[in-house]
Amino acid sequence: MTERLVKVYSRFNRLWHWSQVASIAILLFTGARIMGLHSVLPFGLAVMVHTVVALALLVLWAFVVFWLMTTGAWRQFIPSLDGFVEVARYYAWGVFRGQEHPYHKRLGRRLNPLQAFAYFALKMVLLPAIWITGLAYLLHGLWSHLDSGDQWLWLVANLHILAGFAVAAFVVIHVYLLTIGHGFRAHVRPMLTGFDRVDLTPEQEAYLETEEPGRLHPELRAKG
C-alpha cells in the first residue's frame, strides 16, 4: 500500500458540497427567522429567501442523485460494519490517548464506516424528511381544504422544524470532527483542492499513473 495524494473530490463534488454549505447556512438562518428565533430580516423576506434557496437546493440534489447514480459514486455511501467498532472506539477513547485514526482512505472508499453510516442516515432519512415536509408545507394551499383546523399543517411544520434542528446538529458535529486528527485545515483542504491522502494498491497506483495521471498529485510521491 502506498499513500498518495489522489483527486477524490471531483469538481462537481466540490461544487455540490460548497453550494450545499451556503444553502444550508441560509436555510438555517432564515428558518430560524420564520419560526421566530430572531428578527434580523422581515418575515416575508425570510420566507421568500428560504423558499427560493430550498428550491435551488432541490434542483442541485436532483443533479446530485443523477451524478451519484451514473458515476457509481453512490457506493461510497453504503454503510458497512467492517471497522465500525474500531472507529467508534477511537472517537470515544483513542482520541484522548493520542492514537492514530484507525481508518485509512481507500480509492473506492473515502468514508470511514462511521461516516458512511452517518451520511447514509442523513441522505436516506433526514434530508428526505426535510424536503418532503418542506414541499408539503410550501404547497399547503393545495391541500388546506383537507385540513380544516390545520392539524396536519401543524404536524408537517413541526416535523420540518425538528428535522431542521437535526441538520443543524449534524453541521455542528461535522465541523467539530474536522478538528480531530490532522486538524481543521488539513481536513478542509481536500474539499477545496480535490486531493486527499489515499492508500493505493500498486495496481491502483499503476492504473492511475497510466490512465488518469491528472488524479495523482506530485506531492507525497517520495513517501511512497
Partner 1 sequence: MSRAYFCALFSVAIFLATPTLAQEVGADPPAVPGKGSTADHTKFEILKQDFASGPEVTRACLKCHTEASDQVMHTLHWNWDYTHPATGQSLGKKNVINAFCGNTASNETRCTSCHTGYGWTDTRVSAPADPTRVDCLVCHADTALYSKLDNQAGNPPLSPVPEGAKTITGALATPVDLSKAAMSVGVPQRENCGQCHFNGGGGDNVKHGDLSSALIAATRDVDVHMASDGLNFTCETCHLSSEHKVAGSRYAVNAHDLGGTGLPGMRRDVASCESCHSDSPHGASLIGMKLNDHTDRVACQTCHIPEFARGGVATKTVWDWSTAGKLKDGKPYHEAAFTQSDGKALHTYLSTKGNFEWGENVVPHYAWFDGQVEYTLSDEVIDPEQVVEVNRLSGSPDDGTSRIWPFKRMVGRQAYDTENLTLVYNQVYGPETDTAFWTNFDWSKSIEAGMRYAGKPYSGSYGFVDTYMYWPITHMVAPGEDALKCDACHARDGRLTALAGVYMPGAKLTLGGKLGMALFALVALGVAVHGGLRLVTGRGGDHD
Residues that bind partner 1 (rule: CB under 8 A) add up to a total of 46
Q: Does 128 bind partner 1 (CB under 8 A)?
A: no
State the nearest-atom distance from the C-beta of 89 to partner 1, in Å: 14
The helix or strand, by DSSP H or E, that contains position 198, with its residue range, turns out to be strand 195-200
State the nearest-atom distance from the C-beta of 144 to partner 1, in Å: 6
Q: Which stretch binds partner 1 (CB under 8 A): 28-36, 64-72, 74-82, 124-132?
A: 28-36
Q: Please state the φ and ψ torsions of residue 165, each to the nearest 5 degrees.
A: -65, -35
Site string for partner 1, 185-224 (x = CB under 8 A): ----------------------------------------
Q: Which residues of 65-93 are buried (b: 16+ CB within 10 A; e: fewer)?
A: eeebeeeebeebbebeeebbeebbebeee
From 70, 72, 81, 145, residue interacting with partner 1 (rule: CB under 8 A): 145
Distance in angstroms (rounded) separating the CA atoms of residues 106 and 104: 6
Q: Which stretch binds partner 1 (CB under 8 A): 5-13, 118-126, 139-147, 198-206?
A: 139-147
Question: Which residue in the block uniquely carries the three cell numbers 451520511?
Answer: 119
Burial class (CB in 10 A: 0-12, 13-18, 19+), 164: buried
| Residues 38-57 interacting with partner 1 (rule: CB under 8 A) | 39, 42-44, 47-48, 51-52
Q: Helix or strand or coil: residue 111?
A: coil
Q: Which stretch binds partner 1 (CB under 8 A): 32-40, 64-72, 105-113, 216-224?
A: 32-40
| Residues 152-171 interacting with partner 1 (rule: CB under 8 A) | 153-154, 157-162, 164-166, 168-169
From the CA atom positions of the chain, what is the Rg in Å?
Answer: 21
| Residues 82-111 interacting with partner 1 (rule: CB under 8 A) | 91, 95-98, 100
Q: Does 181 bind partner 1 (CB under 8 A)?
A: yes
Contacts 24+ apart (CB under 8 A), 77-83: 77/111, 77/116, 77/119, 77/120, 77/123, 78/116, 78/120, 79/113, 79/116, 79/117, 79/120, 80/113, 80/116, 81/113, 82/113, 83/112, 83/113
Chain contacts with partner 1 (rule: CB under 8 A): 33-36, 39, 42-44, 47-48, 51-52, 91, 95-98, 100, 140-141, 144-145, 148-150, 153-154, 157-162, 164-166, 168-169, 172-173, 176, 179-183
